[in-house]
Amino acid sequence: MTESSELDTQVEATGETVGEAKWSALRELERRFPGVDKANVQFAVVSEGERGLLGVGHVPARVIASLTAVPAPDGEEEPGSPAARLRELGHLIVIPLLLLPLLPLALLAAPFYALVLRRHERRDAAPHVRPDEELVHELAALEDHVVQNPFTALGHVKPARFRRLSLIVILFLLDYATRHLFNRGNLAGVKTIHFARWVFIDDRRRVFFASNYDGSLESYMDDFIDKVAWGLNLVFSNGVGYPKTRWLVCGGARDELAFKDYLRLHQVPTRVWYSAYDSLTALNIAQNERIRSSLHGDSSRDEERAWVQSL
């Protein structure tokens, strides 16, 4: 009935009549994409078919059905829909309101937290261990095949409960910041990131980090060291073996060689990863989005002039 792949939004179907062929194609799209709106399905009649004589010379009708808009899975809102925007606005407002009553307690606890933090920073071991050359060559062989590169790393959280609780709070606040503040392809000046995420594993004894970025790993690390070394320290300083930090945000990644060796030491080969536009940088994608928006929206003369100059 169909010659299309399971993930395709186009179906070719046959039937005794054009109507039956359309019905068959629509049923297949509904199976693949539950909740599909019939108004978003376009039909192209390939052949109206031939009835033949007494079954001789019979040719079935053939149509192609194309889905112009894929419905969101059950329980999920379309990105940019009113429901999704309302949910994001609620998250933006509710979290600070819930944390506001805790602010006086946080201010009172801050000096004690700083003292305990410095004690841990002085005691935590930070040996400068260089990665094995064979591992470095294996990782390098997997890089720079397209414009973007993946990065995956695994590391142990420092065993002290103080460090684990600190990391839980830091990742919670980072999630809020990247969700509402750094959500326009610009992470405090770093504009080469397509994706990044930290995830606790093994009952929060280890952390998994994954990212897709533009360019080489060397330039990626340099970008972070130069622009957001303090942000790296916030998270990674709670990992075993990280270069020495001061007051959580100072030092650490500023020791460039020690930091780069630390990342390579904890990096694991990324055998499979996905990129929707592996030949485009984050800047290219943002530029294409602006061009598309200008083509389909109302623009002033100055905006049109700026759009033409950007081509």
| Position 5 confidence tier, pLDDT thresholds 50, 70, 90 | very low
The pLDDT of residue 9: 79
Kindly tell me if the per-residue pLDDT of 311 is higher than 70.
Answer: no
Domain assignment present for residue 275? The answer is no
List of residues 6+ apart from 58 with CB closer than 8 A? 49, 50, 51, 52
Domain assignment present for residue 221? The answer is yes
Kindly tell me if the per-residue pLDDT of 137 is higher than 70.
Answer: yes
List of residues 6+ apart from 219 with CB closer than 8 A? 192
* pLDDT (mean) for 208-213: 92
List of residues 6+ apart from 33 with CB closer than 8 A? 9, 67, 70, 71
The pLDDT of residue 2: 40
**239 and 211: one domain?**
yes
Structural domain boundaries enclosing 89: 83-266
pLDDT, tens digit, 9 for 90 and up, residues 20-47: 888 888 888 888 887 777 778 888 888 8
| Position 59 confidence tier, pLDDT thresholds 50, 70, 90 | confident
Domain assignment present for residue 276? The answer is no
Rg, Å, the chain Cα set: 27
The pLDDT of residue 33: 80
Question: In Å, how far are 64, 115, 147, 283 from 264, measured between CA atoms?
Answer: 50, 31, 20, 26
**123 and 219: one domain?**
yes
**141 and 257: one domain?**
yes
Which residue do the tokens 């194609």 mark?
Answer: 25
Decide which of 55 and 164 is more confident: 164
Distance CA 73, CA 71 (A): 6
Which residue do the tokens 């326009």 mark?
Answer: 184
| Position 65 confidence tier, pLDDT thresholds 50, 70, 90 | confident
Please tell me the least confidently modeled range out of 70-84, 128-142, 280-294: 70-84
Q: Which amino acid is at 34?
A: P
Kindly tell me if the per-residue pLDDT of 18 is higher than 50.
Answer: yes
Decide which of 193 and 185 is more confident: 193
Catalogue the E-assigned strands of 69-205: 148-156, 193-201
pLDDT, tens digit, 9 for 90 and up, residues 243-298: 999 999 999 999 999 999 999 999 999 988 888 888 889 888 888 877 777 666 66
Highest-scoring range by mean pLDDT, 16-20, 141-145, 295-299: 141-145
- pTM of this structure: 0.70
**177 and 49: one domain?**
no
Q: Where does a domain end: 38, 67, 96?
A: 67
**125 and 205: one domain?**
yes
Distance CA 287, CA 294 (A): 11
The pLDDT of residue 4: 39
Tell me 237's DSSP state: T
Contacts by 283-292, CB closer than 8 A, 24 or more apart:
283/191, 283/214, 286/185
The tally of domains found in the chain comes to 3
CB atoms within 10 A of CB 87: 12
The pLDDT of residue 54: 59
Distance CA 200, CA 266 (A): 15
Domain assignment present for residue 225? The answer is yes
Distance CA 151, CA 214 (A): 11
Question: In Å, how far are 62, 194, 201, 282 from 215, measured between CA atoms?
Answer: 47, 11, 29, 10
Phi then psi for residue 148, to 5 deg, are -100, 160
Residues 25 and 43 sit within 8 Å (Cβ to Cβ): yes
CB atoms within 10 A of CB 21: 27
**196 and 309: one domain?**
no
The pLDDT of residue 57: 66
The pLDDT of residue 178: 87
Question: In Å, how far are 14, 82, 175, 294 from 92, measured between CA atoms?
Answer: 50, 15, 11, 29
Decide which of 258 and 54 is more confident: 258
* pLDDT (mean) for 5-32: 79
